[in-house]
Structures are given as C-alpha cells and as structure tokens.
Amino acid sequence: MIDFKQLVKAGVHFGHRTSVWCPRMAPYIWGHKNNVHLIDVSKTAFQLEKAAQFLEGVASEGKSVLWIGTKKAAQDPIRLAAERLNLPYVNHRWIGGTLSNFPQVKKSVTKLLHYEDVLVKDNSGSFYTKKELNRFKKAVERLKKNIGGIVNLRWPLGAVVIVDVNKEASALREAAAMKIPVVALVDTNSDPSLVNYVIPGNDDAPRSIKLIVDYLEEAARRGQEAAKVKKDEIVAQEPDEEESLFATITEEEGEEEEGGRKGARKQDTTKKSSKKVVIEEVGLDVLAGGSKE
C-alpha cells in the first residue's frame, strides 16, 4: 500500500470548496478547513490499492486498458503511462462513440493510417501534388490529436482509467453502458455513482494526478509481466510442431507396416487352406480310383 506521506506531499487530500461538492463523496471526506474539503488519505490509499490489484488482474488476463485524461494537468501523465505500457489512451478530446460505436470511429483510424502511409511513401516523383500532400499532413496532425492514441485499441477492453469524471462524463457514460469496469480519480465535486473503483483525491493538481497514474501504471505493468510469463509457459508446454509431425508420420508408418503384416498373414493362411483343399481332393480321387479297380 502507498505511503500516506506521499499522498499528503502530493496534495491528494485537497478537495474543492465546501459550497461545491457532491454528497455522495461524503464517505471519503475527512473534514474541511478554510471552506475547503479535505479527503481522508487512508481511504484514498485503501481504494488506490484496491484499484491497482484490479488493474493487475485485468492486465494478467491479457486484456487491454484504456487511459483517459483530457484536462491539461492529466494529458502528459496519461500519455506517458499508456505509451510505456503500449496501451490505448485519449488525452486531447473524447470522440463520441469510441466505445459504443467503435466500428464507425475505426474508419477515422483507417484514414489516419492511409494518410501516414501516403506521406511515408512520398518522393519527388509522387503521384500527388504538393497541395494534396499538404492537405494530407494537416489531416494527419488533426487525426493524431483526436484518435492517435486509440490506433492500438483492441477488444475485449478490460477496464477504463479516467481522471476527473466531470470532464470525462461522456466517456464514463459510454463505459457504463458497455458494462466496462471504470477506475477513476474522483474529487469532492464529482458523482462517483457510475465508477466501479473510486479513488478519492485531487484531480486538478499535476503532482496528485501523476502520483496516482504512476501507481496504477506499475500495477498494470506487473499484470503484463505475469501474462507474458503465463504465455511463455504455455508455449514451452506445447510440443514442437516438427516433433509432433514426425511422431504422427512414425505412427502412421507403424500402422501401415502392421496392416501389411496382417494382410500377409491372412494371405498365407488363405494359401495354406487352398493347398489343403487341393490335397484332400486329390486324395479322394486316388481312393476312388483304387476302389473301382
């Protein structure tokens, strides 16, 4: 569990003004000072550990985690954490339907990849004019801001990590509608009713956001390492394809040889029985001839 001193030092315990608060956050509020709510850091530490264990379990199953934080203080921590984990993220603007209508959003992803491919293959003798190439560059810059982080988004999506549920209300509603578990940093002015794993804390201070996101990142990394170990063990337990193919061929050859031997035995038995019948017939003829004389 994280040290309480780290939380206090990062300012995680500072909430919003007492005049702007959500009563559903009352269980996580310790008190107030100078008309500012103070969050109980012991509950923050407990909820953070609970959320971290959940993310570790999700990552260990090989599922993807989407990181969302479009406010200025959260953009860099979210992007850096997701890039280090090679996971999808949204840090500029939430595109409506990213979760509930992803096939439609994927068309924009395909367009981005196409434009990038055109620009990479561009040369002096290109089919496109300079004006068209400039238009493609502007389109790539715009699309990268909006959907550049979800190019590697894959399903099934195991969880969604959100910073400031008020700012990301649309993403929260989509995740709830799709029944995707939500881990969120929730301040005293936010409604936690749609969040599965509430982390009460300051969602405005950059140090507070970075501390929480980094802790969750470490948990997700442990889960990814565990998933990799499981995958390696499964691969090691599976027989080699060449060995299995050789064993199969050997078994088939053995069956063919055994079948050939059985066939030869049957043929020999048939020959012996036919010879016996001929001998008996010849003997009867000889006896019959002797009686006539």
- List phi, psi (to 5°) of 167: -65, -40
> Over 80: is that where the pLDDT of 256 sits?
no
Structure confidence at residue 146 (pLDDT) = 84
Query: If you ran DSSP here, which 8-state letter would residue 27 be given?
Result: G
Please tell me the distance from the alpha carbon of residue 2 to that of residue 42, in angstroms, as a whole number: 10
Q: Please list the residues that pair with 36 across neighbouring strands.
A: 17, 33
Predicted pLDDT of residue 277: 46
State mean pLDDT over 115-129: 74
| More confident call, 259 vs 67 | 67
List, in order, residues 6 or more apart from 182 with CB less than 8 Å away.
Answer: 159, 160, 162, 172, 175, 176, 194, 195, 196, 197
Tell whether the model's pLDDT for residue 279 goes beyond 50.
Answer: no
Whether residue 95 is predicted with pLDDT greater than 90 in this model: the reply is: no
Range of the domain at 29: 4-98+153-236
C-beta of residue 130 within 8 angstroms of C-beta of residue 122: no
- Say what angle helices 72-85 and 206-237 make with each other, to 10 degrees: 20
pTM comes to 0.75
Helix 102-120 crosses helix 130-147 at what angle (to 10 degrees)? 140
At 244 the pLDDT is 56
Contacts of 122 (CB under 8 A, 6+ apart): 128, 133
- Position 30 in a domain: yes
**186: domain CATH number?**
3.40.50.10490
Residue 240 has pLDDT above 70, yes or no: no
| Segment 16-46, tens digit of pLDDT | 888 888 888 889 998 888 888 999 889 999 9
Lowest mean pLDDT among 5-19, 74-88, 206-220: 5-19
Would you say residue 204 lies in a domain?
A: yes
Residue 48 lies in a domain: yes
Determine, yes or no, domain membership for 10. yes
Q: Residue 247: what pLDDT?
A: 56
Assess contact for 112 and 148: CB atoms under 8 A.
yes
287 has a pLDDT exceeding 80:
no
Q: How confident is the model at residue 275 (pLDDT cuts 50, 70, 90)?
A: very low
Residue 9 lies in a domain: yes
* pLDDT for position 48: 92
Cβ-contact 98, 90 below 8 angstroms: yes
Q: Is the Cβ–Cβ distance between 66 and 79 less than 8 Å?
A: no
Answer yes or no: is 124 within a domain.
no
Q: How many domains does the chain have?
A: 1
146-182 residue pLDDT tens: 888 888 888 888 899 999 899 989 999 999 999 999 9
Q: Give the per-residue pLDDT at 182.
A: 93
Residue 139 lies in a domain: no
Report the percent of the chain where pLDDT is more than 90. Answer: 28
For residue 80, what pLDDT band results from cuts at 50, 70 and 90? very high
What mean pLDDT, rounded, does the chain reach?
Answer: 81
| Closest to 29 in 3D by CA, of 42, 45, 15, 40 | 40
pLDDT band with cut points at 50, 70 and 90 for residue 259: low
User: Has residue 192 been placed in a domain?
Assistant: yes
- Reply yes or no on whether the pLDDT at 72 is more than 60: yes
User: Does the pLDDT at position 75 exceed 80?
Assistant: yes
